[in-house]
């Protein structure tokens, strides 16, 4: 046969190797099972009807018409919804939001579920939901920041960043010899993972099995269990593969809860898969922001003040802040800083964390403002940033655990060819007649860690099993965590069996905040270490072992042997140690997380520098990003191949933020008018060329035992501003909102 | 209503009963024929996740009614590898990390196979990018996808020349 060949799958053996994905084979052959791929016997299909107004109430549903449709089995509305045991307004876990589960007939945003239809087929349930033909009593809607500005408020409460400040802000303003006062706006964005949210729910007595994508398996179990009055351990959640999450799949949503309820009510398995349009509703989004930035510099072009006020939208029934002003907190050495947030209640679904929450939108504004400040000061934008480089954490003076940002600037600039860039805009025009512009932005993302547990089992044949309910949503956990696990016992990757993505395993924590590899990886590494410690004790206390009497601390593990570090001729196989001790296997456990005292000693961030080239058609004003070079320092890189992919994905998100993504509301109904992939634009392959990633070496002994900082989000940070600044440099136009569209550049 | 169509599905002749005229090829594969490798990303022809080959040409399975496909030859992601042997496009996707979450991947791979068969893109990156732009990847794996299609295209061309010689 002419078009087949043997798999070219190479696995590296440990951390630092560019191993190909362990789940690669399953994903390229189509056997990787995503939630909605499950079709158990006796399945019912659920489809929910979304509200088509944003504020008011549902006055009529044609339930009879839906019920009469062949194949429709049930219609659930607020009138007949079976009781839930948990209060949908309560917050049982740290990732709980007030949940819309047909409590009553009020509508708080377009896309809110107003009924659930069950059918024997997807086609029947879909048609049933359409036949409901809802009628509404609609109230005037508020969908833009200005629509409800008068009642804006300062957020307060758990998980809501109020802001930060240091130094004397008023004195900083007064000391400035030159200053800017600019306002930037960023649009509402919807995560739109390619896999829409989906769930297959099956009850067996009071035990519940769920196939649903989750970025935090065990937390999700607790979140779902709460609604049904069962203990979290009664819920089995399987999430072996997630078709993208980006922050939207950590929080149980109303339609998922309703599907579980329907399964309990009918005592049949129920599948619910969101449509693409429904991804613009009850699954969270990045709230729109307006940010005022006031910067000032003294005669030495040193920043005297960064004054960053963020205004963001939230829903009428819950609070979430897109904490844009956070982006200003750790980055530049300003004499004084004020970073503050305010919220505006709008008739939209509750926003939530979306890739780089706060940092992405805040950096977009900050990095453009820095460019404007450099322009006013008549200085090269990179030089201006170096002039204001923070050697220690601004405000606290804490040392950084590591910070190779200077190297990122240098390597990125060299690769890009930044030197010789004209200061003035509209100076570069190619032979093709296109206006060319170069811009840059700094990237920063903190290194949070959650908590994770793991278990390691050494087997008599010298292989090992590692288990944790970690999550691979594309970052590469299946591969990277296995690499860390293998290293912990000195094994090769193919000697390690790794189980993840199932809630019955030790709690793998949260895939979020770019902290999953560090946290779950830390737990796995500690579990392997626990096995080695026990092996060492057995061997060194056993007169028959070549290692008898050796100190436990000077032992190392390699290729299935335990060796004495200073005399490698003294060694013994893992298997022999086990056999002599009469054990068939050995189990160790490990915990991942950051010791509280470590957090107080150092400031911890990943850093980067992004350089962008755009070409703009002088007549049509079409913008193309032709080159994008990102240099990032993010501690230890476990897998360079997958890291490059993550960082590139983030930079493409930055391009998307800068030029493509925006949810647009109809001002009368409050509906999002572009709620699909035809209207809500994200980059396609033709939008991406000239992408380059450099990772700058960084040893970080403080951030965690493995020295890992995380790369999931930082790629988007810095990129947006770099593109905005490049557009200014090409055209001379400062567009102070994102996305930047052709119309903005055509305007005189 | 009951309607039968005959398909050649991944090389195998099948008589398939269509229980509802509204059933799309995508929902036929996923919900009725236990072939969920083909993915649904939008259900209206906007994302390419559902790309399959119909009579050798790439098509969005969500836009085709199953009832209209009597006599068609359908190839899905499940029918691409021959046993243990991956199709060159599949192998190149692994090697060049042409995916992250893997959800768009079956569609990307089927689209790439179709694109290479169309013969217009060769290994020219610009044309590949253009020709693959009907397949959205929200993870942004485009760099790897382009490299993978380039390499597979080259390898398949070389193999064909070798076979012809
Ligand atoms: S599912 Fe068919 S094109 Fe998106
Ligand atoms: S790999 Fe995730 S959408 Fe393409």
Kindly report the CATH number assigned to the domain that includes residue B51: 3.10.20.30
Find the helix or strand (DSSP H, E) in which A119 lies: strand A113-119
Q: What is the pLDDT of residues A390-405, one digit of tens each?
A: 999 999 999 999 999 9
Query: What integer pLDDT is reported at residue A615 of this predicted model?
Result: 98
Instruction: Specify the pLDDT at position A216.
Output: 96
Q: Which of A30, A32, A657 to mutate to test the interface with B (most CBs of B within 10 A)?
A: A30
Q: Are residues B115 and B139 in the same domain?
A: yes
What is the atom index within ligand 1 of the atom nearest the CA of B46? 3
Nearest atom within ligand 1 for CA of residue B48: 3
Q: Are residues B60 and B92 in the same domain?
A: no
Rounded to whole angstroms, how far apart are CA atoms A746 and A742?
A: 6
DSSP per residue over B13-62, as a string? EEEEEES-TT-BHHHIIIIISS-TTS--SSSSSSS-TTEEEETTEEEEGG
Q: What is the ipTM of this complex?
A: 0.98
Mean pLDDT value of segment A51-70 = 98
Does the beta-carbon distance from A241 to B101 stay under 8 Å? yes
The nearest CA of chain A is from the CA of B40 a distance in Å of: 8
pLDDT band at A1, cuts 50/70/90?
Answer: very low
Q: Is B101 in the pocket of ligand 2 (CB under 6 A)?
A: yes
| Cα four-point dihedral sign B123, B126, B130, B132 | positive
**What is the pLDDT at residue A11?**
30
Which of B17, B48, B79 is the last residue before a domain boundary? B79
Predicted structure pTM score: 0.96
Segment A118-125 shows an average pLDDT of: 98
Shortest Cα distance from A192 to chain B (angstroms)?
A: 7
Hey, how many other C-beta atoms are within 10 angstroms of the C-beta on B19?
17
Q: What percent of chain A has pLDDT over 90?
A: 91
Q: Which of A589, A460, A586 is nearest to A524 (CA)?
A: A589
d(CA A526, CA A488): 8
More confident residue, A671 or A559: A671
Q: Which of B51, B79, B107 is the last residue of a domain?
A: B79
Q: What is the mean pLDDT of residues A373-379?
A: 98
Same domain, B36 and B93: no
Over residues A94-108, mean pLDDT: 92
Q: Write the residue in A20, A33, A475 that is nearest to B94 by C-beta.
A: A20
Taking the centre of ligand 1 as the mean of its atom positions, its distance from the CA of residue B59, in whole angstroms, is: 10
Same domain, B71 and B104: no
Which ligand has an atom closest to residue B103 CA?
Answer: 2
Quick one: which ligand is closest to B50's CA?
1
B139 lines ligand 2 (CB under 6 A): yes
Between the CA atoms of A599, A603, A605 and A611, what dihedral angle is there, to the nearest 10 degrees? 180
In this prediction, residue A590 has a pLDDT band, given cuts at 50, 70 and 90, of very high
β A428-429/A235-238 pair status:
unpaired
Domain tally for chain B? 2
* B63 and B105 both lie in a single domain: no
> How far is residue A78 from each of residues A45, A113, A116, A224, measured CA to CA in Å?
19, 10, 10, 20
- For the cut 50, the answer to whether the pLDDT of residue A358 exceeds it is yes
**Which residues does A247 contact at the CB level (< 8 Å), separation at least 6?**
A191, A215, A284, A352, A353, A354, A355, A357, A512
For residue B42, the CA-to-ligand 1 centroid distance in Å is: 5
Tell me, in angstroms, the distance from the centre of ligand 1 to residue B107's CA.
9
Same domain, B100 and B157: yes
Count of other CB atoms within 10 angstroms of residue A472: 27
- Return the CATH number of A400-448+600-746, one of 2.60.40.1120, 3.40.50.300, 3.30.365.10, 3.40.30.10: 3.30.365.10
Q: Is B142 in the pocket of ligand 2 (CB under 6 A)?
A: no
Which CATH number covers residue B109? 1.10.150.120
Distance CA B16, CA B9 (A): 10
Catalytic residue among A100, A127, A313, A713: A713
Q: How far is the CA of A649 from the centre of ligand 2 (A)?
A: 10
Taking residues B21-44, what's their average pLDDT? Answer: 98
Grade residue A6 by pLDDT with cuts at 50, 70 and 90.
Answer: very low
| Minimum-distance CB partner of A645 among B106, B133, B144 | B144
Tokens of A449: 């860690």
Q: Quick one: B111 and B157 in the same domain?
A: yes
What tens digit of pLDDT does each residue of A299-351 get? Answer: 999 999 999 999 999 999 999 999 999 999 999 999 999 999 999 999 999 99
Lowest mean pLDDT among A2-16, A353-367, A680-694, B148-162: A2-16
Token look-up 């939001």 returns A97
Residue B64 shares a structural domain with residue B103: no
Angle CA B4–B10–B11, to nearest 5: 90
pLDDT tier at A12, thresholds 50, 70, 90:
very low
Distance CA A257, CA A87 (A): 12
Looking at B59, B79, B99, the residue that finishes a domain is: B79
Residue A161 contacts B, CB cutoff 8 Å = no
Question: A585, A459 in Cβ contact below 8 A?
Answer: yes
Every domain of chain A and the residues it spans: 2-32+454-593, 35-139+200-215+248-273, 400-448+600-746
Q: What is the pLDDT of residue A552?
A: 56
Ligand nearest the Cα atom of residue B46? 1
CATH topology (fold) of A2-32+454-593: Aldehyde Oxidoreductase; domain 4 (3.30.365)
The torsion region of residue A652 among left (phi > 0), alpha (psi -120 to 50) and beta comes to alpha
Residue A5 pLDDT exceeds 60: no
Specify whether B75 is located in the same domain as B99: no
What local confidence, expressed as pLDDT, does residue A553 receive? Answer: 61
CB of B56 sitting under 6 A from ligand 2: no
- From chain B, the residues in CB contact with A473 under 8 A are 101
Which of B53, B98, B103 is most worth mutating to test chain A (most A CB atoms within 10 A of its CB)? B103
pLDDT of residue B1: 53
Per-residue pLDDT band for A91 (boundaries 50, 70, 90) equals confident
> Which domain, by its residues, includes B36?
3-79
Write the pLDDT tens digit of every residue in A222-277: 999 999 999 999 999 999 999 999 999 998 999 999 999 999 999 999 999 999 99
Higher pLDDT, A162 or A395: A395
Question: Are the Cβ atoms of B27 and A31 closer than 8 angstroms?
Answer: no
> Residue A367 catalytic?
no
| A46-55, A558-567, A687-696, B51-60: range with lowest mean pLDDT | A558-567
User: In this structure, are B157 and B92 located in the same domain?
Assistant: yes
**CB within 8 Å: B97 and A645:** yes
- Mark whether B13 and B71 lie in a shared domain: yes
CATH architecture of A35-139+200-215+248-273: Alpha-Beta Complex (3.90)
Looking at the predicted structure, is the pLDDT value of residue A74 above 80? yes
Kindly state if the Cβ of B106 falls inside 6 Å of ligand 1.
Answer: no
Residues of A in contact with B34 (CB under 8 A): 39
Q: Which residues in chain B are contacts of A677 at CB distance < 8 A?
A: 41-42, 46-47, 136
Model confidence pLDDT, tens digit, residues A602-612: 999 999 999 99
C-alpha to C-alpha distances, A300 to A180, A326, A545, nearest whole angstrom: 16, 26, 69
Q: What is the pLDDT of residue A595?
A: 85
Task: Say if ligand 1 is within 6 A of residue B60 CB.
Answer: yes
When pLDDT is cut at 50, 70 and 90, the band that residue A692 belongs to is very high
Same domain, B8 and B67: yes
Chain A residues inside the 8 Å CB shell of B90:
28-29
The whole-number pLDDT of residue A14 equals 67
Tokens of A307: 């004054």
Average pLDDT over residues A99-111: 97
Exposure of A301 in the CB half-sphere (CA atoms within 13 A)? 20
Average pLDDT, chain B: 96
**Which residue of A1, A2, A3 is the best one to mutate when testing the B interface, meaning the one whose CB has the most B CBs within 10 A?**
A3
A685 contact B CB<8A: yes
């Amino acid at each position: 046969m002419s078009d087949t060949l043997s798999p070219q799958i190479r696995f590296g053996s440990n951390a630092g190797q560019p191993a190909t994905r362990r789940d690669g084979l399953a994903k390229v052959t189509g056997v990787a099972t995503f939630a909605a791929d499950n079709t158990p016997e006796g399945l019912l299909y659920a489809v929910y009807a979304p509200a088509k107004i944003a504020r008011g109430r549902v006055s009529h549903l044609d339930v009879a018409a839906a019920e009469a449709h062949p194949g429709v089995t049930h219609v659930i509305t607020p009138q007949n919804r079976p009781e839930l045991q948990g209060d949908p307004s309560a917050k049982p876990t740290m990732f709980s939001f007030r949940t819309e589960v047909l409590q009553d007939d009020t509508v708080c945003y377009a896309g809110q579920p107003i009924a659930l239809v069950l059918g024997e087929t997807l086609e029947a349930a879909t048609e049933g939901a359409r036949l409901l033909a809802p009628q509404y009593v609609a109230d005037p809607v508020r969908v833009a920041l200005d629509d409800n500005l008068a009642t804006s408020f300062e957020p307060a409460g758990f998980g809501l960043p109020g802001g930060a400040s240091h130094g004397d802000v008023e004195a900083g303003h007064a000391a400035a010899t030159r200053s800017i006062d600019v306002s930037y706006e960023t649009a509402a964005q919807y995560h739109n993972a390619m896999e829409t949210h989906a769930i297959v729910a099956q009850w067996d007595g009071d035990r519940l099995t769920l196939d649903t994508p989750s970025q935090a398996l065990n937390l999700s179990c607790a979140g779902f269990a709460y609604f049904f009055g069962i203990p979290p351990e009664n819920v089995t959640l399987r999430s072996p593969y997630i078709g993208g999450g980006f922050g939207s799949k950590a929080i149980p949503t109303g339609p998922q809860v309703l599907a579980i309820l329907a399964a309990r009510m009918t005592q049949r398995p129920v599948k619910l898969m969101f449509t693409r349009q429904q991804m613009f509703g009850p699954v969270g989004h990045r709230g729109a922001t307006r940010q005022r930035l006031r910067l000032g510099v003294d005669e030495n072009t040193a920043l005297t003040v960064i004054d960053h006020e963020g205004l963001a939208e939230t829903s009428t029934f819950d609070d979430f802040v897109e904490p844009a002003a956070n982006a200003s907190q750790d980055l530049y050495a300003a004499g004084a800083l004020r970073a503050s947030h305010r919220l505006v209640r709008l008739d939209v679904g509750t926003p939530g964390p979306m890739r780089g929450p706060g940092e992405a939108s805040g950096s977009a504004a900050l990095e453009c403002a820095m460019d404007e400040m450099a322009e006013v000061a008549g200085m090269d934008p990179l030089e201006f940033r170096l002039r204001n480089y923070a050697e220690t954490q601004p405000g606290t003076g804490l040392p950084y655990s590591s910070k190779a940002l200077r190297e990122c600037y240098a390597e990125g600039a060299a690769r890009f060819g930044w030197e010789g860039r004209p200061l003035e805009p509209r100076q570069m025009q190619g032979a093709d007649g296109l206006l060319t512009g170069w811009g840059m932005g700094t990237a920063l993302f903190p290194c949070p860690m959650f908590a994770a547990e793991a278990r390691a089992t050494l087997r008599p044949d010298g292989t090992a099993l590692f288990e944790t309910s970690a999550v691979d949503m594309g970052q590469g956990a299946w591969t990277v965590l296995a690499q860390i696990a293998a290293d912990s016992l000195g094994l090769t990757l193919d000697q390690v069996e790794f189980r993840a993505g199932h809630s019955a395993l030790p709690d793998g924590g949260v895939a979020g905040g770019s902290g999953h590899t560090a946290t779950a990886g830390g737990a796995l590494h500690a579990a392997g270490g626990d096995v080695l410690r026990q092996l060492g004790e057995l061997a060194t206390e056993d007169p028959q072992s070549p290692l008898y009497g050796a100190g436990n601390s000077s032992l190392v593990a390699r290729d299935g042997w335990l060796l004495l570090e200073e005399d490698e001729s003294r060694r013994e196989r893992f298997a022999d140690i086990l056999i002599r001790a009469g054990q068939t296997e050995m189990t160790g456990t490990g915990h991942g997380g950051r010791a509280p005292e470590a957090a107080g000693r150092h400031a911890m961030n990943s850093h980067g520098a992004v350089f962008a080239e755009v070409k703009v058609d002088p007549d049509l004003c079409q913008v193309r990003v032709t080159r994008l070079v990102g240099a990032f320092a993010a501690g230890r890189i476990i897998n360079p191949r997958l890291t490059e992919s993550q960082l590139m994905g983030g930079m493409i998100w930055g391009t998307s933020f800068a030029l493509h993504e925006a949810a647009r509301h109809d001002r009368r109904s409050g509906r999002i008018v572009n709620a699909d992939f035809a209207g809500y634009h994200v980059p396609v392959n033709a939008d991406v060329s000239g992408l380059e990633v450099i990772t700058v070496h960084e040893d970080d002994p403080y951030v965690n035992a493995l020295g890992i900082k995380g790369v999931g989000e930082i790629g988007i940070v810095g990129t947006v501003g770099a593109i905005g600044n490049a557009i200014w440099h090409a055209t001379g136009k400062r567009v102070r909102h994102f996305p930047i569209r052709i119309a903005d550049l055509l305007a005189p | 209503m009951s309607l039968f169509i005959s398909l050649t599905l991944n090389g195998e002749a099948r008589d398939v009963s269509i229980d509802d005229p509204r059933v799309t090829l995508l929902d036929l594969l996923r919900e009725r024929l236990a072939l969920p490798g083909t993915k649904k990303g939008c259900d209206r022809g906007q994302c390419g996740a559902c790309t399959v080959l119909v009579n050798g040409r790439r098509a969005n399975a969500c836009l085709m009614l199953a009832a209209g496909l009597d006599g068609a030859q359908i190839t899905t992601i499940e029918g691409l590898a021959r046993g243990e042997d991956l199709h060159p496009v599949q192998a190149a996707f692994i090697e060049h990390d042409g995916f992250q979450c893997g959800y768009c991947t079956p569609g990307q791979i089927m689209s790439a196979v179709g694109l290479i068969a169309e013969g217009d893109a060769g290994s020219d990156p610009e044309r590949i990018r253009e020709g693959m732009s009907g397949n959205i990847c929200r993870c942004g794996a485009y760099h790897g996808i382009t490299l993978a299609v380039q390499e597979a295209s080259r390898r398949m061309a070389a193999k064909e020349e070798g076979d012809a010689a």
